[in-house]
Amino acid sequence: MRCRGSRLSRAFFARDTVRVARELVGTLVVRRLEGELLVARVVETEAYRGDEPACHAYRNTQRLARGELPRGRSALLFAGPATAYVYFNYGVHWLFNVVTEAEGTAGAVLLRAIEPLRGIERMRQLRPAAKRDVDLGNGPGKLTRALAIGPEFNAHPLHASRELYLAHGETRVPRSAIVAGPRVGISQARELPWRFHLRDHPCVSR
């Protein structure tokens, strides 16, 4: 689970959502697009755990506790670790999450910002509104555009994909370099410090 440059295994995601969110900071997102490799460093994440009201699967977790089956969009969050959960937000943007926890327990980590490393020219084509390279992926809706991640990746197995996966970074990020704080843009459970980002990194969202 520690090998540098290697793909993150299913076991990596089959753990506590908050811990996965913290440890995802500093890892790499790899997107193979028409033979070209786009690579970026994850610099900001948020944890959404099924037993907490800001999580899409919160209602389904309660339903499950009553002996009913999860249903609807967020039922995917129970499906199993390392599954991609891509959903449409505000009628405008696609947001990219990775499902966490063991199968049958809901959780996901939202990728909120990336630092482009490779394939930057292609990312600029995909996101012409970006003025600087730093703007290519400094927000959850921006990074999905820069990496061409859309609805076709919903329910995608990230542990067994060539088109889209996560990998260990070149260097291990010390925990002291990661800042924890409240999540952005939510109205429920604001007090939980489940947003994680690299300290003073220019690609962190506004």
Partner DNA sequence: ACGAGGATGCTCT
Partner DNA sequence: GAGCATCCTCGTG
Q: Return residues touching DNA (CB under 7 A).
A: 46, 48, 54-56, 59, 71-74, 85, 88-93, 95, 97, 108, 110, 127, 129-130, 135, 139-143, 183-188, 205
User: Does the CA dihedral 101-41-205-195 come out positive or negative?
Assistant: positive
CB atoms within 10 A of CB 156: 17
Cβ of residue 35: shortest distance to DNA, in angstroms?
Answer: 26
Distant-in-sequence, close-in-space partners of 49: CB < 8 Å, separation ≥ 6: 17, 18, 55, 101, 106, 107, 194
Q: Quick one: 91 or 174, whose CB is closer to DNA?
A: 91
Nearest distance in Å: CB 136, DNA: 9
Least spacing, CB of residue 166 vs DNA, in Å: 16
Q: What are phi and psi of 186, to 5 degrees?
A: -115, 160
Which CB atom, from 6 or from 110, has the smaller least distance to DNA?
Answer: 110
Residue 204's alpha-carbon distances to 68, 133, 160, in angstroms, are: 40, 12, 28
Q: Which is nearer to DNA, 30 or 113 (CB)?
A: 113
Q: How far is the CB of 142 from DNA (least distance, A)?
A: 4
Nearer to DNA, 173 or 203 (CB): 203
| Residue 102 CB partners (closer than 8 Å, separation 6+) | 14, 80, 81
Which C-beta is closer to DNA: that of 36 or that of 88?
88
Q: Kindly state the smallest distance separating residue 4's Cβ from DNA, in Å.
A: 27
d(CA 116, CA 112): 13
